[in-house]
Structure 1
Amino acid sequence: MSTENPFGIDFGGSGIKGAPVDLETGEFAGERERIETPQPATPDAVLGVLVELLGRFEDSTAPVGLTIPGVVRHGVVSSAANIDPAWIGTDADALLTDATGRVVHVVNDADAAGLAEVRYGAAQGVSGLVIVTTLGTGIGSAMVFDGIVVPNSELGHLEIEGHDAESRAANSAREREELSWEEWAGRLTTYYRTVERLFSPELFVVGGGVSKRSEEFLPLLDIRTPIIPAQLRNTAGIVGAALAAVEHGR
């Protein structure tokens, strides 16, 4: 028995998680499965996990989307700041499609989350430019204009006041330097003011684990652009990957 629901896979540092996705609702169409991320997480090792993960679900010819924590151009991985460097230069779309027998499309992880938030989450119904940022170990970013992702924006690496932005404004910097919410909000204000001067977005959406405590810091930011917490949180990567896989084939 087959299903037409596309499959989304979120490739993280500690776990690789996947589920079929109902694109009408943006919800999982089956129970999510998770497998520990292999160490080292080389393309061949991750490929084995993908085959095992897909094997836990019923047969399907629907496309598969996979998030990659790196820059992706036409299915080829171009950076690997937080994954094994063997991914650089790998045509992941071709490799994974050949190995799984399914059409597989890889997408930057922040872009996948951003697309999901615009279609189903906090930014649903907002036209124009929406910038989704994830505040975690680094700062991930997704720029979505009228529902279309402008890929690989990497706004966490803007140089601000002589520093790589995420080195001072990511949640990891708050934890490492034991900053108060007020101190961190000051750094975030500087970051978001820089981004709004450059791009004049309609809306900022803030994701990452710390977004669960958004009431502690978002009201302290002094910027012009509306800024709100993400809604999909841990499901955004899987949902966005599945959506990107379907839209890539159109």
Structure 2
Amino acid sequence: MTKKQPNVLVIDVGGTHVKLLCTGQSEPIKIPSGPEMTPRKMVTEVRKAAAKWKYAAVSIGYPGPVLHHQPVAEPHNLAAGWVGFDFKKAFGCPVKIVNDAAMQALGSYEGGRMLFLGLGTGLGSAMIVDGILEPMELAHLPYKNGRTYEDYVGERGLERLGKKKWRKCVTDVIEQLKKALEAEYVVLGGGNSRLIKQFPEGARLGDNANAFIGGFRLWEPAAARKKVRK
């Protein structure tokens, strides 16, 4: 007998907004974020906004590295205090935290070996193999000319190179990482992914709303994610 999944509150934490959606709801709620957003303030505002929603578990997409469902570094665009904060106690229910790119990756997954690349301020990355999520930190690996992948395909690279050269770099990075990691397909997300006009073979544009799907899937067993690719 399959255990029923709990109602889940999914929270996508960003530098400008915190977005939330609950099982059974169709319209996300958006809360302003920014450099004064502490974890305590986030919890208070989320609980207030979601007061009419019923949930027994929480998923959080966090804009930074996460280990064992806990942030291990403070976010760049928010206030400090996230590392070591007791989210389970604050929400009063079980909480799972993953990197925001990993959460969107999980929502974009269609089986097999998938690489997710989030093109935004930086470069988010995650790999899913046979339903098993592996968050990655590829952004700061060396790429070329003494610079990292993020230096070329993140926001700084876009500003330095201009759109045309930036697009060429994105294509090269996709092809290089797809080959190196033996990914069957690559999904692109993040705000700057919309600037891509042509996708290399085996790559496609994801939907930023998939972060919510990923948050719900966090509470599924990995075996349930092993569906055949569409």
- Inter-CA distance 189–34: structure 2 relative to 1 (3 Å threshold): closer
Residue in structure 1 matching 2:73, options 75, 79, 83: 79
Equivalence map 1:54-203=2 (5 Å) = 54-55=50-51, 57-60=52-55, 62-82=56-76, 83-88=78-83, 90=84, 92=85, 95-118=86-109, 124=110, 126-127=111-112, 129-151=113-135, 153-161=136-144, 162-174=146-158, 176-177=159-160, 179-181=162-164, 183-203=165-185
Assess if the C-alpha contact under 8 Å between 2:115 and 2:178 holds in 1: no
The alpha-carbon distance between structure 1 residues 178 and 184, as it changes in their structure 2 partners (threshold 3 A), is closer
User: Is there any run of 5+ residues in structure 1 with no aligned partner, and where?
Assistant: 23-28, 119-123
Equivalent position of 1:25 in the other structure: none
1:247 Cα shift?
4.6
Contact residue 124 and residue 138 of structure 2 kept, 8 A: yes
Deviation string 1:100-135 (CA, Å, 9 cap, x unpaired) is 2222211110000000000xxxxx2x41x2101111
In the alignment, is residue 241 of structure 1 matched against residue 224 of structure 2?
Answer: no
Deviations 1:145-180 (A, max 9, x none): 1121012x0122221112121111125522x13614
Change (3 A) 1:180 1:247: same
AA of the residue aligned to 2:142: E
Provide the rounded CA distance (Å) in 2 between the counterparts of 1:12 and 1:78: 17
Q: Helix, strand or coil: the match of 2:93?
A: coil
- Cα displacement (A) at 1:10: 0.7
User: In the alignment, which residue of structure 1 is the partner of 2:12?
Assistant: 10
Instruction: Tell me the C-alpha RMSD between the 2 structures.
Output: 2.5
Alpha-carbon distance in structure 1 between the residues aligned to 2:114 and 2:7: 27
TM-score (norm 2): 0.83
Give the structure 2 partner of residue 206 of structure 1: 188
TM-score normalised over the length of structure 1: 0.77
Residue pair 2:105, 2:116 contacting (<8 A) in 1 also: yes
Whether 1:226 aligns to 2:202 is yes
Do the aligned partners of residues 38 and 52 (structure 1) sit closer, same or farther apart at CA in structure 2, a change above 3 Å counting? farther
Secondary structure of the equivalent of 1:87?
A: coil
Cα deviations by residue, 1:153-212 (Å, 9 ceiling, x for unpaired): 0122221112121111125522x136142x123222332343234312111111122333
Change (3 A) 1:227 1:171: farther
Question: Among the aligned pairs, what percent are the same residue?
Answer: 24
